[in-house]
Amino acid sequence: MLPFRVQARYSQNHQWASYPNGTISFEDGHIIGNAKFTREVINRYAIQEGFTLKKIKNDRYMYTVTCKNDACDWRLHASCLTNKVTFMIMSVRGSHSMCPRVAENKEATSRWVASVLGNFIHSNPNGKAKLFKNELQERFAVKVDNQTIYRANKIVLETLKSDHVEAYAKLRKCGNAIRSYNSGTYVMVAMNPDVKSDNPTFLIFYMSFKACELEPVEKWARHAFEPSLKVDHVSNNISECFNSCIREDRDKPKLQLLENFRRKIMVRFCEKWAKAEKLNDTITPYAKDNLNMNEKEARKLQVIYENDEAWKMAYDGNINPILDESKWPEFESQNIEPPVKKMNMGRPKKKRTRAPAKPRAPNATFSKRFHYVENLDTIGQPVHLR
């Protein structure tokens, strides 16, 4: 038996690592890691090479596998070192030059999919199974079924819950950083007084950049408009526009969501300022289009508008970037608990409920579980098929 120092030096000099491009290969004497990590690495190699593993020996101290294709001579044997933790590749023989590649590889489990597509799923939390299957096919030449994609998606999104909890705990510190880097910005974090817990429970995060407050609130916030002003149309267009704006970010942790808000506002200010610079008229294009469309009615009205200089002034403010979290100013506060989420019974609805007055989509079809019957009691009434 080799002395401990000699084993440590050998392990350091023969530590296994994948290539910079992620490709995996093995040599005799490679030190891998513990049993779980060793099995994961060998499974990744099998997926990379396109074959299925056949386990000959699989216990706490030895791991021997071959290719499931009987015509293939590939064989790998790994054994545990004297510390009873670390595994070393004792021998690897043969190649897969003669066996065909397996597209639907059983080694491609949901946990493997979650590990290789974690960032992609984070970026597309509402993506469909076909999107992720195409990504696997393009990057790894592997086909998996929809259930594997659904389970992998669930594994990745479950990790977001811990990120959400950490983000809520840092909201006050984040608000203080926003005020520090953008002087005059108003930030308020309100707690829910109806929830009793050791730490306060989040209710509302309100933020208003100074650059957005060039005019009194009565001139730009709908909730502060004169209540006597009425229109003949009531809708939730503002909330619909807002939900559409944050559609790609709404499932992300709250700190990342706030940062994306700030970036969207900065981009909007820059775009509007660039349009104002190119303006060759005394009124904005939107106001001009409205006047042209309502030329006859506009003759009876007194039109009040601002010139192009006022438009430039509206988008003249600067919103400074927020530095990395490690550089935020020190700020001590009590941790904040996430809001209490109420789950309704049954499967969650993913499709919007269509309003009665809203027309049906052109390509929508009736469900096959309903049909229309005609008799003396029910004429044209949908009957549920059991």
Residue 170 has pLDDT above 80, yes or no: yes
Q: What percent of the chain has pLDDT over 90?
A: 20
* Nearest-10 Cα torsion for 361, 365, 366, 368: -150
How sure is the predictor about 377, in pLDDT bands with cuts at 50, 70 and 90? very low
Query: Which pair of tokens denotes residue 268?
Result: 């909007």
Nearest-angstrom CA–CA distance, 386 and 375: 19
Average pLDDT over residues 75-88: 91
Q: Tens digit of pLDDT for each residue in 95-139?
A: 887 788 888 888 899 999 998 998 888 778 778 889 999 999 998
Radius of gyration of the chain (CA): 31
251-267 pLDDT, tens per residue?
Answer: 777 888 888 888 888 88
**Residue 332 backbone phi and psi in degrees, to 5:** -95, 130
What is the C-alpha separation between 374 and 256, in angstroms, rounded? 56
Q: Could you tell me which of 119, 117, 126, 130 has the C-alpha nearest to residue 247? A: 126
Q: What pLDDT is recorded for position 91?
A: 93
Q: Do 352 and 360 contact (CB within 8 A), yes or no?
A: no
Rounded to the nearest integer, the mean pLDDT of the chain is 78
Q: Are the beta carbons of 87 and 80 closer than 8 angstroms?
A: yes
Q: How far apart are CA 83 and CA 8, in angstroms?
A: 11
- The answer to whether 160 and 187 are in contact (CB under 8 A) is no
Helices (H), 55-186: 110-116, 118-123, 129-140, 146-169, 171-181
Angle at which helix 254-277 crosses helix 171-181, to 10 degrees, equals 30
362, two tokens? 């052109």
CA angle 292, 294, 296 (to 5 degrees): 105
pLDDT, tens digit, 9 for 90 and up, residues 290-344? 777 776 666 666 656 556 677 777 777 778 888 888 889 988 888 888 887 776 7
Residue 299 DSSP one-character state: T
Which stretches of the chain are assigned E, i.e. beta strand?
A: 31-33, 53-58, 62-67, 75-80, 87-93, 186-191, 202-208, 370-374, 379-384
